[in-house]
Amino acid sequence: MSVETSSAPASEFEFTLKEQWAIHQAFLDYIEVATRGDTDLPQPTIEITILEKIEDGDFSFTAFELDRLRYECDHHATSEYAPERDREPARSVVEKIDSRCQASVGR
């Protein structure tokens, strides 16, 4: 049940299997926390959309989705609760997004 987040152009990315797994885990963790009864986090609508895209092998993201993807991967890369094996791939995702965004600004 994907939700269209905007009509803005999307950016295509390629992620390794390790990066895909780190993204997947980061978003599963967020969704688990956001859907608990003891949190003030908003319902994870966009996060579910991103998770579904990753599961479908669709690595095309709007600017808003990229912002969420970058934030969650950056958090996952530095979290003491994230498995050690996920930290470097999560950092790599952040670097890919940053690199793409810097290239766009330079145009």
At 25 the pLDDT is 96
Is 10 domain-assigned?
no
Is 6 domain-assigned?
no
Is 7 domain-assigned?
no
Is 96 domain-assigned?
yes
**Longest CA pairwise span in the chain (Å):** 45
pTM for the whole structure: 0.85
Task: Give the residue from 19, 18, 107, 4 showing the smallest Cα distance to 65.
Answer: 4
Is 33 domain-assigned?
yes
Structural contact between residues 31 and 51, judged by C-beta atoms closer than 8 angstroms: yes
- Compute the radius of gyration of the chain from its Cα atoms: 14
CA angle 64, 10, 45 (to 5 degrees): 40
Is 4 domain-assigned?
no
pLDDT digits (tens, 9 = 90+) for 54-70: 999 999 999 999 999 99
pLDDT digits (tens, 9 = 90+) for 88-99: 999 999 999 999
Task: Give the residue from 59, 70, 66, 67 showing the smallest Cα distance to 95.
Answer: 70
Is 5 domain-assigned?
no
Domain count, the chain: 1
pLDDT digits (tens, 9 = 90+) for 17-30: 999 999 999 999 99
Structural domain of 34: 15-105
